[in-house]
Amino acid sequence: MGVVNVTPNSFSDGGRYADPARAIEHGLALRDEGADILDVGGESTRPGAEPVALDEELRRVIPVVEALAKDGALVSVDTMKSEVMQAAIEAGCAIVNDVNAFRAPRSVETVAAAGVGAIAMHMQGSPRTMQQAPHYDDVEPEVTDFLRERARALEAGGVARGRIVLDPGFGFGKTVDHNKALFRALPRLAAHGYPVLAGVSRKKMIGDFTGRAIDDRVAGSVAAALLAVQNGARLVRVHDVKPTVDAINVWMELR
């Protein structure tokens, strides 16, 4: 899954593709590099980020979803708002990626009625405050129980089991130690029977391990994506599609 951020403030590429035409061009380039899914988002969820108004999010996201879908790309929309989900579905998106795991009113109903895919991610708190003091008694069962509860809620609301993807939400209300514990838990999470998505690309954890600035984390991110796949992730959400696809292809041949 290639990241297409139509935002002025995303943590790694904020402002670079804020103009819809540039975002569309970027998305098509990521597809050419081997992304199977293009994840279009109009609201940064970086720690400390302020929420974006509905009108503004729609204005950013919908033209990009529409153009990429028209070009035949498989598009997901990265949003927490049911109105954006609905408009993106009408514009051709096939998957909804919700870092809030469909807890907002009408979001389960929206994906169920449309028959689209649903990616439910774990987040402790909200982006504005989530990194201030993340706390768990035992992170793995708490995240796993949450995700299984959200999967049950989606299924109870009419989303087919085969359309649900779960994501432990690296960096969303987690310390580095929480991220490490969840990374090692990926095989057990995958064993619950839902495909698992891992998003670690360029995140702070990679910077902590390598000492690199955000735009110098490609090698670290590729290593983490490859390990995530080896640990059972079926989807990896990445900014650097080409090197990630190369690494996974080489691993698949040589393993």
Q: Does 100 bind ligand HH2 (CB under 6 A)?
A: no
Beta carbon of residue 112, minimum distance to ligand HH2 (angstroms, whole number): 19
Based on the residue annotation, tell me whether 237 is a catalytic residue of this protein. yes
- Helix 107-114 vs helix 139-156: crossing angle, to nearest 10: 60
Contact between 164 and 120 under an 8 Å Cβ cutoff? The reply is: yes
Residue 151 is a binding residue for ligand HH2 (CB under 6 A): no
- For the chain, the residue count is 255
Distance CA 73, CA 79 (A): 18
x/- map, 181-220, ligand HH2, by CB under 6 A: ----------------x-x---------------------
How many residues touch ligand HH2 under the rule CB under 6 A: the total is 21
Exposure string (b/e) for 143-161, b if CB count within 10 Å is 16 or more? bbebbeebbeebbebebee
234 is a catalytic site residue: no
Distance between CA atoms of residues 19 and 90, nearest Å: 21
Interacting residue with ligand HH2 among 22, 33, 34, 46 (CB under 6 A): 46
> Binding residue for ligand HH2 (CB under 6 A) from 97, 107, 110, 131?
97
Residue from 58, 80, 121, 143 that binds ligand HH2 (CB under 6 A)? 121
82 binds ligand HH2 (CB under 6 A): no
Q: Per CB under 6 A, does 5 bind ligand HH2?
A: yes
Tokens 């509860």: give the residue: 149
Pick the closer one to ligand HH2 by CB: 97 or 253. Answer: 97
Query: Distance between CA 5 and CA 44 in Å, rounded?
Result: 8
Candidate list 31, 163, 217, 237, residue with the active-site label: 237
Residue 31 or 204: the one with the smaller Cβ distance to ligand HH2 is 204
Binding status of residue 41 toward ligand HH2 by CB under 6 A: yes
d(CA 40, CA 47): 19
**Of 81, 150, 203, 204, which residue is the catalytic one?**
203
**Cβ neighbours of residue 96 closer than 8 Å, sequence gap 6 or more:** 76, 77, 79, 85, 88, 89, 102, 107, 110, 111, 116, 117, 118, 119
Rg of the Cα atoms in the chain: 17
Binding site for ligand HH2 (CB under 6 A): 3, 5, 7, 10-12, 41, 44-46, 78, 97, 99, 119, 121, 167, 169-170, 197, 199, 237
